[in-house]
Amino acid sequence: MKTAVVVFPGSNCEHDVVYALGLLGADAELVWHRETDLSEFDGVVLPGGFAHGDYLRTGAIARFSPVMAEVERMAQASLPVLGICNGFQILCEAGLLPGALVANRDLRFVCRPVHVLVEHTDSLLTRAATPGQVLRIPLNSYEGNFIAPPDVLATVEAAGTVALRYCDAAGVVDESTNPNGSTNSIAGLSNAAGNVAGMMPHPERAIEDILGSSDGTVLLESYVATLEAGVPA
Amino acid sequence: MRFRVNITRKEGLSDPEGVETARALADLGYDEVGEVHFGRIITLELSGHDAATATARITEMCERLLANPVIEDYTIEEIE
């Protein structure tokens, strides 16, 4: 089982993702955004960074990179597709995940460890985690504020596909524990099928105790487990 | 032909820049200001089309790339 990690011009977390997935036993390989054939891969990760300089809107130009036709094909084929930070923004722009990510509530770049509460566990991001589990993972974004029109938000909440919400160390979710103003404190979510997911914090930066936390491991383990399980028959 | 595309956040959706700017205007004593909304202006130069076709093409560009229809509205005007 092999996963692609896409490199856009301006990506900057791709090596961290390959390293982290490698620690978990996955065969992860970097793929340039101009690649048009990902048929040898069983899953794909869109890593963090500033693809195409974040010009126009974050992810707006990246969603038309040649590789995205393959990312869409894999999403349709029930293969795991994970977007982290800028990758999450790209998946939203591509319409593979609902909503959009805009400037943080306080108009400040937030770069610090935050806590997230695991909610929905039927996704490639949270499969190995436990509902109610609190994870400490670095957040590193200016446009991390999740918004969606009321009808889209209602659909997401009714489907129960919110995987992670911002919280404090005790797991309390409210405006005081929301670092960027995200609607309903949404930090990560999946599509209804659970094979496409995105999150703003960086699990690949919390995979060894020397980094201050290894709480991101369980999320990437979920991805690797999904990859190894293959497409459900 | 030149066209101007005005892109704004859909009404009711969070607009942190607008909220902060409204607060600053209130601090400066401009009590008459209610909500403030930010947008983006894109000027496009087109050739080879009549105005109606050009507008239809720009609408398509807005839907596909220039705006995010999930959270933004847009208007198109011919400026010269």
Delimit the domains of chain B by residue range: 2-78
A62 touches B: beta carbon within 8 Å: no
Indicate whether A175 pLDDT > 90.
Answer: yes
Strands A162-167 and A134-141: unpaired
Q: Partners of A53 in the beta sheet?
A: none
* Count of C-beta atoms within a 10 Å radius of residue A157: 15
Indicate whether A192 pLDDT > 80.
Answer: yes
pLDDT digits (tens, 9 = 90+) for A1-58: 899 999 999 999 999 999 999 999 999 999 999 999 999 999 999 999 999 999 999 9
Q: Which of A158, A139, A145 is nearest to A203 (CA)?
A: A139
Interchain proximity B70–A107, CB inside 8 Å = no
Interchain proximity B10–A145, CB inside 8 Å = no
A15 touches B: beta carbon within 8 Å: no
CATH topology of domain A2-229: Rossmann fold (3.40.50)
Backbone angles phi, psi at A141, to 5 degrees: -160, 150
pLDDT score of B14: 86
In one-letter notation, the amino acid at residue B74 is: Y
Interchain proximity B13–A149, CB inside 8 Å = yes
| Cβ-Cβ contacts under 8 Å, A52 against chain B | none
Best of A56, A108, A143, A183 to disrupt the B interface by mutation (most B CBs within 10 Å)? A56
A105 touches B: beta carbon within 8 Å: yes
R_g (Cα) of chain A, nearest Å: 16
- Positions in chain B whose pLDDT score sits under 70: none
pLDDT more than 90, % of chain A: 97
Indicate whether A233 pLDDT > 60.
Answer: no
ipTM value: 0.84
Domain residue limits, chain A: 2-229
Reported CATH class of domain B2-78: alpha beta
Give B16 to chain A, closest Cα distance, Å: 5
pLDDT band at A202, cuts 50/70/90?
very high
Instruction: Report the C-alpha gap between A44 and A185 in whole angstroms.
Output: 26
A107 touches B: beta carbon within 8 Å: yes
The pair of three-digit structure tokens given for residue A190, joined into one six-digit string: 């999946």
Indicate whether A199 pLDDT > 70.
Answer: yes
Backbone angles phi, psi at B16, to 5 degrees: -55, -35
User: Who contacts A205 (Cβ-Cβ below 8 Å, separation ≥6)?
Assistant: A13, A16, A137, A138, A140, A211, A216
| Cβ-Cβ contacts under 8 Å, B16 against chain A | 102-107, 145, 181
Interchain proximity B65–A56, CB inside 8 Å = yes
pLDDT score of A232: 59
Looking at residues A147-163, what average pLDDT do you find? 96
pLDDT score of A217: 98
